[in-house]
Amino acid sequence: MTPERRRRRLRRRHALGAAGLVLVGAVGWFAYADPAYVPALIVVALAVLAGTHLLFAREISRREVVERALHDANRELESFSYSVSHDLRAPLRSIDGFSEALLEDAGPALTPETRSHLERIINAARRMSLLIDDLLALSRVSRAEMKREQVDISDLAAHIVADLRRADPDRGVVVEIAPDLRAVGDGQLIRLALQNLIENAWKFTSRKPRSVIAVGRARDEDGAGAFFVRDDGAGFDPEYTDKLFGPFQRLHAASEFPGTGIGLATVQRIVHRHGGHVWAEGQLQQGACFYFTLGDL
């Protein structure tokens, strides 16, 4: 059943309950006016009350079943992530470690081709490890308890850009951050979303000698306040816009721009958890702009 239908049914039952109360009031009034009606009216009123109670009780027990299922599913997800975190990395450590050991110990005896194969194995293990880390980060976003606090988005963006500049001081990127961008939400999650968006902008402008990244304020189609992160980098083919936010979806070759394809899925999940929405505009080679609202959490 859709949530909309469930809500409608619940409303119907509330109406029924209200009708029951009105009836009880009427009974009282009739009884006061003419005592002869009392026994019959009491029976009718009790029947209506019992009926509405039964309906409510059934609704509540249904809700409990759904909630318990949700709770179980969450717990299962939790223990799944936990064992992914512990157990999936160990075999990768062996693959990477022993390939390295082979390279070192048998180094001079290996042909260039064999060396290259070993290096491919090592690279694949490291890439899988990155994928696992990103997947775990994504699932952590869904599991994290949400805080509600004042968040200074301008300040967060400035810090993220400063980190990027420190790591990559030779890039000619002009970053324009609008002042006083503020929101209410979970600071850590919003930071993670911004970080993904700004790092993407930084990455997809890396082929240009000069580029501009902007963080600012916008409106969605309903006129609600939104934020944006815009760049003038590689952009994307608008035909694939709906693929942008799917986990593991990538619109560029890994050799061109590295990444696991989890970043925008993480952004979307964070925005959804805040009751907001996220969308993108772009053209190939003409930059991209990502918008998000944070709802009224």
Residue ranges that bind other proteins, judged by CB under 8 A = 81-82, 85-87, 89-90, 92-94, 96-98, 100-101, 125-126, 129, 140
Q: Judged by CB, which is closer to other proteins: 49, or 92?
A: 92
Q: Judged by CB, which is closer to other proteins: 140, or 252?
A: 140
Residue whose token pair is 């064999």: 114
Q: Judged by CB, which is closer to other proteins: 1, or 90?
A: 90
Q: Judged by CB, which is closer to other proteins: 129, or 249?
A: 129
Closest separation between CB of residue 133 and other proteins, Å? Answer: 9
Q: Is 238 exposed, middle or buried (0-12, 13-18, 19+ CB in 10 A)?
A: middle
Closest separation between CB of residue 82 and other proteins, Å? Answer: 6
Closest separation between CB of residue 128 and other proteins, Å? Answer: 8
Q: Judged by CB, which is closer to other proteins: 136, or 297?
A: 136
Q: Is 280 exposed, middle or buried (0-12, 13-18, 19+ CB in 10 A)?
A: buried
Question: Are the CB atoms for 19 and 48 separated by under 8 Å?
Answer: yes
Closest separation between CB of residue 119 and other proteins, Å? Answer: 13
Question: Are the CB atoms for 157 and 215 separated by under 8 Å?
Answer: yes
Give 137's contacts (C-beta < 8 A, 6+ positions apart): 192, 262, 266
Q: Running DSSP on this structure, what letter comes out for residue 235? A: -
Residue whose token pair is 């999650």: 189
